[in-house]
């Protein structure tokens, strides 16, 4: 009887400990709708986008200039560029860009992470951080 209780308690404790550990290892630096992005995922997208922008990218594909029609108050100065960040964890390499974007400036400084999820029309809203 005592042993069963102990076992139940141990299971309970392991269960409660497992949750914060899971959260720590999969921390969302940004949440766009239901998509969770770690800071390293954001930095990977930003670096890939900046590399392409620096290489002289044509205007039809990503990255391209982001005009900030929504009027975000970014912490870095523009000109801004947008590049997709994918919920699959892959770095964008053409094809469907999905709903989420990293925004960086001409020096490759991260301005923010924005999404079409929850926005009207073609607008963007800020991802939660
Ligand atoms: C990018 O932002 C940083 C920080 O605001 C700024 O110092 C830098 O001049 C900006 N680069 C460009 C090309 O606008």
Give the pLDDT confidence of 2-26 residue by residue, as tens digits.
555 555 545 545 555 554 544 455 6
Note whether residue 8 is domain-resident.
no
Determine which residue's CA is closest to atom 14 belonging to ligand 1: 78
pLDDT recorded at residue 58: 67
CA of 109 to the centre of ligand 1 (A): 7
Length of the chain as a residue count: 129
Protein residue closest via CA to atom 5 of ligand 1: 76
Q: Which is the closest atom of ligand 1 to the Cα of 79?
A: 14
Contact 116, 91 (CB under 8 A): no
CATH number at residue 80: 3.10.450.30
Residue 121 belongs to domain spanning? 28-126
Q: How much is the pTM?
A: 0.81
pLDDT in tens, 84-127: 999 999 999 999 999 999 999 999 999 999 999 999 999 999 99
Find the mean pLDDT for residues 59-70: 90
Residue 40: CB atoms within 10 Å: 9
- Ligand 1: which of 49, 65, 78, 105 to mutate, judged by most atoms within 8 Å of the beta carbon? 105
Structure-token pair, residue 23: 């959260």
Q: Report the domain count for the chain.
A: 1
* pLDDT of the residue at 14: 54
From 106, 108, 111, 112, mutation site for ligand 1 pocket: most ligand atoms within 8 A of C-beta:
106
Q: Is residue 33 part of a domain?
A: yes
Q: Enumerate residues lining ligand 1, CB below 6 A.
A: 76-77, 79, 105-107, 109
């Amino acid at each position: 009887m005592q042993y069963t209780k102990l076992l139940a308690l141990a299971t309970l404790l392991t269960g409660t400990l497992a949750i914060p550990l899971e959260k720590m290892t999969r921390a969302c630096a940004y949440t766009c709708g239901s998509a969770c992005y770690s800071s390293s995922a954001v930095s990977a997208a930003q670096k890939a986008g900046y590399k392409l922008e620096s290489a002289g990218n044509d205007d039809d594909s990503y990255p391209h200039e982001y005009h900030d029609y929504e009027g975000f108050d970014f912490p870095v100065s523009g000109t801004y560029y947008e590049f997709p960040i994918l919920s699959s964890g892959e770095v964008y390499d053409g094809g469907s860009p999905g709903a989420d974007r990293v925004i960086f400036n001409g020096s490759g400084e991260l301005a923010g992470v924005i999404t079409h999820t929850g926005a009207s029309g073609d607008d963007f809203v800020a991802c939660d951080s």
